[in-house]
Amino acid sequence: MSRRVVITGCAAITPIGNTKQGIVQHLTEGISGVKAMRADGLLTEHIHSGVFGTVDYPIAYDFARQHRKTMGPVAYYACQTAKEALAASGLSQEFITSGRLGVAFGSTHGSPTVQRQIYRTFFGQTDAKLSSIGAVDYLKSMVHTTAVNITKMFGITGRVISSSTACTTSSQSIGFGYEAVKFGMQDAMLCGGADEYDTTTVAVFDNLLACSTEFNATPHLTPRPFDVRRDGLVVGEGSGTVILEEYEHARRRGAPILAELLGFACNNNGGDLILPNVEGIERTIRLGLENAGMRADQIDLVSAHATATKMGDVMEAQAIGKTYGQGPWVTGLKSYMGHTMGSCGAIETILTLYMMQEGFVAPTLNLDEVDERCAMVRHARQLIQAPVQTAAIQNFAFGGVNTCLILRKAVP
């Protein structure tokens, strides 16, 4: 059995806003959400990068205490976008708790904020009392905290998948949710990812010499995907949730159909755990197209992973060029908000959906001069007003994990 899968709700918390109107304004007016990194004592003194894609606006959480007590910051993000996406989808409470709705949701490493508190107690001062670690601290910090806090808050009793594959976490979540609905294991899936602000994440990439350091005084000028002056990624935070639903089920209840998810592919390079691989990326893209039943010349837009690292952008551009040539527009959405880690696939899927709905392609921000090694694709360097009927969303992660999602605009 193979069924059609559509998106009937979505919501995002990003460094460029948490409403469709605000996000679209940033994309169409070229407004960056990258800011100076907050001071964090001795840790920031030893980090060379001084920028972060920060959520710096208030969010009106109204969660009951019974739910808040098991939630770290990452779960707050996850549950808020889940709540908004469920409301947008119009799914009934009866359906939500029926077992026919599942969850596929993850984060890079749970809540590092809470983990740091635990480690400080364990390894900090010799007289630290283990009793100071709360009974629910593990529930806040465990790697699947986002998924299970969502199930708890909304009474979801279907299957639970909690991917944790760094930068492909939420694109995998969407892909696995798509397969669960497509093959009849669930009628709907709540899918996405979240990651919170924490300087330890920056420290990891900074130690690998992968972070942007040259634009600390001008945060809005970085990251710079595909640009000759790019100098590394910018870590960010946020959350994205999409509701996937079987087409006939959505149609019968009169649900808002935002787009159709046509295909998904995920594979591994089978080699280096850090450096991307042209052949591996190209293979994933072609598998995604095959799964969707699409040809390369039928894709209008590619949302590239485009982290602005020195070699990552080159290898991705080469893989896109080999697959698509100069056909689709290529844009790097991390240029607006940094790399939102485990949430980037879901957030970039939602931003791509907004571009489809509004009929535009957002340019890659800060792409002033294209690196000649990345020049074989059709870069969006200015705002393009054009219909976008089909799009591919690409993400790649440490460990050699690659994903590709194929979207088609909803037909009225």
Quick: pLDDT tens for 202-221. Answer: 998 999 999 999 999 999 99
Q: Count CB-CB contacts under 10 A for residue 21.
A: 8
Dihedral over Cα of 367, 225, 264, 237: its sign:
negative
SS3 for 192? strand
Residue 169 has pLDDT above 70, yes or no: yes
Exposed/middle/buried for residue 213 (C-beta within 10 Å: 0-12, 13-18, 19+):
middle
Residue 127 has pLDDT above 70, yes or no: no
For 158-176, the DSSP string reads S-EE----GGGHHHHHHHH
Higher local confidence (pLDDT), 260 or 46? 260
Please report, for the domain that includes residue 326, its CATH number: 3.40.47.10
How many structural domains compose the chain? 1
Q: How far is 92 from 187, CA to CA, in rounded Å?
A: 13
Packing angle, helices 344-358 and 169-182, rounded to 10: 70
User: Which pair of structure tokens corresponds to residue 395?
Assistant: 């993400």
The mean pLDDT value of the chain amounts to 95
Higher local confidence (pLDDT), 40 or 278? 278
pLDDT of residue 90: 98
Residue 141 has pLDDT above 70, yes or no: yes
pLDDT of residue 134: 76
Q: What are phi and psi of 68, to 5 degrees?
A: -65, -30
Strand partners, 331: 303
Residue 114 has pLDDT above 80, yes or no: yes
pLDDT of residue 126: 55
Q: How far is 164 from 290, CA to CA, in rounded Å?
A: 25
- Of all residues in the chain, the percent with pLDDT exceeding 70 is 97
Quick: pLDDT tens for 283-321. Answer: 999 999 999 999 999 999 999 999 999 999 999 999 999
User: Which pair of structure tokens corresponds to residue 337?
Assistant: 């908000």
Closest CA to 336 of 13, 16, 12: 16
Residue 7 has pLDDT above 90, yes or no: yes
Query: Would you say 15 and 33 are in contact if contact means Cβ atoms under 8 Å apart?
Result: yes
Domain that holds residue 343: 5-409
Lowest mean pLDDT among 265-279, 338-352, 367-381: 265-279
Tell me the average pLDDT across 101-108: 98
Q: How far is 77 from 371, CA to CA, in rounded Å?
A: 36
User: Which pair of structure tokens corresponds to residue 159?
Assistant: 């299957």
Tell me the average pLDDT across 362-387: 98
pLDDT of residue 129: 66
pLDDT of residue 45: 79
Confidence of residue 411 (pLDDT cuts 50, 70, 90): confident
Query: Would you say 49 and 208 are in contact if contact means Cβ atoms under 8 Å apart?
Result: no
Exposed/middle/buried for residue 124 (C-beta within 10 Å: 0-12, 13-18, 19+):
exposed
pLDDT of residue 123: 76
Residue 272 has pLDDT above 90, yes or no: no
